[in-house]
Structure 1
Amino acid sequence: MLTRLVLTDFRNHADLTLSPGAGFVVLTGANGAGKTNILEAVSLLAPGRGFRRVALSDMARQGGAGGFGVAATLEDGGDAAVDIATGAVATAPERRVVRVNGAAATGNVLAEWLSIVWLTPAMDRLFVEPAGGRRRFLDRLTLALSPGHGLHATRYEAAMRARNRLLADDGPPDDAWLTALEARMAEHGAALDAARRDAVALLVDRLAGEDDGVFPRADLTLEGGSGDAATLVDILRQGRSRDAAAGRTLAGPHRADLSVVHRAKGQPAALASTGEQKALLLGIVLAHAELVAARTGRAPILLLDEVAAHLDPGRRAALFDRLAGHGQVWMTGTEATLFDQIGRDATRIVVGG
C-alpha cells in the first residue's frame, strides 16, 4: 500500500502531501478540487501513461516551472519500504523520469513493486466503444498477474513501428531487417497473447465460482490475437504487401478484443443497460482484485473515481462490503455521505477544503 504520496506541480496541486492508511482512502470535495488528479497521480506509479493517457506536459501545473513530480512510499506491512518517484523536468517535458529508491529505472520496472487497477467515468462506455479501450483494460488486468507483460508490450510496439516505417519506405525493403523485426514482433506478440489468455482463463474460473448477486457475473473471451510465435511470423510475412498498402500492421495481438457477455442473460455487454454495464465492469474488477491477492499475496491498489455516485444505496453497501479487507482502495466523491456505509475504517481526506 501507499503510506505517503507527494505531488509537486502536478495538475492543480502545487505541493500536496498525503499519508493514507490501509483499506479505504476516501477523497471528497467540490468539483474541480483535484480529487481525480490525485488518483491520476497514483496511476502513474504503474507502467503506462496513467488513466487519462495524455502527454506528460499536460500534467504539469499551469503557472508552474514546467515539470512535475509524483513520489510515494510503499510498504507491505513488514520492515521494508520502497520509495518510488516519477515525473518530468521542464527541459524535457515529454520524457518520463522514474526512480526506485533513488536509482534511475524504467517505467516497466514499476510493475514489480505494485499493481494498480482503475475505474473512471470515462470507462462507463467500455463495452460499446472501439476495441482499443477493452484491450488496454485487459492489459492492465494482465499486468497485475504477469509483471513482464508491460515489457513485452513495449518491445512489440517498438518493433511494429519500425516494421511499418520500413514497409512505407520507397523501394523494396531490406528483407533481412524486415525478417528480424517480424521475428521480434512474433516473440513478444506471442508472449502478449499467452499472458492475456491466461488472465482471461483465470478470471473466467474466478467468476464461475461466485454467486449471482448485485454485481452480475460476466463471461469473458479473448477474440483475435496471434497464437504462437511461428504462426505470427507467417501472418506477418504473408501480410507484407497488404500492410504496406494500408500503412499499418493489420494482424497481430494489437488487434485483439475482449468480449464480455452478461452470463445470466446470455447477452453481450454492449446490449445491456447502462447500469448493468457498470455492474458488470465492477464485478470483473472485484473478481480480479481477489484473484491477484490470492495468487500473488499482494492485493492491487484500486482507484475508483466517482463510482459511488452511480450506485444505489444497496449496491454501494455491497461494493463496500466486498472491498473491505482487500487492500488499499482509493475512492472519490463530491459528498462525504456517499461513504457513510464504510464506517470508521477509512482515511478520509477533504480535497481543497
Structure 2
Amino acid sequence: MALIMHSGPGNKNVYKALIAAEYVGVDIKMADNFQMGVSNKTPEFVKMNPMGKVPVLETPEGSVFESNAIARYVARGSSLLGSSAIEYGQIEQWIDFSSFELDANLRGWVLPRLGYANYIKPVEESYIANTKRALTALNTHLATHTFLVTGEIKQGDAVLPLPSAKKPEQPKEVKPKAEPKKVEAPKPAVEEEEEAPKPKAKNPLDLLPPTKKPEQPKEAKNPLDLLPPSKMVLDDWKRLYSNTKSNFREVAIKGFWDMFDPEGYSLWFCTYKYNDENTVSFVTMNKVGGFLQRMDLARKYAFGKMLIIGNEPPFKVKGLWLFRGPEIPQFVMDECYDMELYEWTKVDLSDEAQKEQVNQMIEDQEPFEGEALLDAKCFK
C-alpha cells in the first residue's frame, strides 16, 4: 500500500513530507477528491485524526498527523535526520525554529490581512518585528552555511515555511471623525504699510565663476559589441522561435539556418560532467534552472536549450548554445561558474549528423538519443 496524504490542494505543510519523500524515494499519493470541510469531517478521517485537521498521512501501520511528525516519519532511517546525536539535535532545533519563530509569526501577520482574523495594528506590528528578527537570525546563519546543518540538505531545510507571494490587501482601519475646523476671524487690515524687506547681501562665494562638472567616464563597451556587424539578428530568431506554434521544422528550424551567420555566431554543445550525481529529478531541474538564471548576463548575446534526459536516475543534462562571436565569450566563462561544470564542444557545421542534433535540441525532439525527456528549458 502506498502512503496516502489527506489534505486539500495548496497546503504548504504537505510539502514538508513531499520534499522528504522525493529525497528518500518514498511514494506518496494525494487522497482522491479531498474536500476541506467535508472529507475531514467523516468518521473515517476523524478516526485518523480526532482533531479533524490536515494534513494526515495514511500508512500500512496506521495514521500520522501533524506535518512535522509526518515529515519525520517519511525521512526515518535516512541522512535527512542526521547521522549523529548532535546533527539530530540541530535538525530538531531548526524544525522548532521554523514552527515557532517563523511560521507562527507569519501566520499571525498574514491571516488578519487575508480576513481570517481580526486586524489589530499593534498586534500586527509585533508579529512583523518577530518575523524580521527571526529572518535576520536565519540570514546570519546562512551567511556562513550553505545548509542549516552540515554541508547537505536535511529535514530542517525542508520544513522552512514558504509564504505566498500574493500581496494581501491593506485592511481597513476605522478612522476617527475629524473635528470641524474652526473658522478664524479675519485679521484687521494693517493701516500702516510694512517696510519692504531689504535684499540680503550675497555670499562672496556666490560671486565666483561657476565650476564645470567633471565629465562622467563612458562605460566600457562589451567586446562583443565591437565585432563586425552580423547578418543574423538574434532578437529576430528568438521571436521566430517563440511565435512558431506548428510546423516547427518547416518554419522555425528552416528559419534558423536561413538566419544563421557562421562568421558572426558560433554553436556549442555542452554536457554536464557529473551526470552520475543527478539522482533526484527536481534537484536536477533546479540545478539547470539556476544555471540559466546566472547566464542572464549573456542574454543580449546568446540563445540556449538545455535538456534533462531520462525517465530514471541518474538523469543526463545536455545543452545547445548559440553565442555571438567565434568562441564562447570570455566574460561568460569568467563570471558564470557553471560553465566549468560542463564539457563544451563546438558544433562542426560540415557534419550533417551534428546539424541534425542541433535541430533536435532546438525542437525538443522526443525521444532524444533514444530516451525520453524529463524536461527542456530555453534561454532566450
Q: TM-score, normalised on structure 2?
A: 0.25
Q: Which has the higher contact order (CA 8 A, sep 6+)?
A: 1
Max radius of gyration: which structure?
Answer: 2
Q: TM-score, normalised by structure 1?
A: 0.26
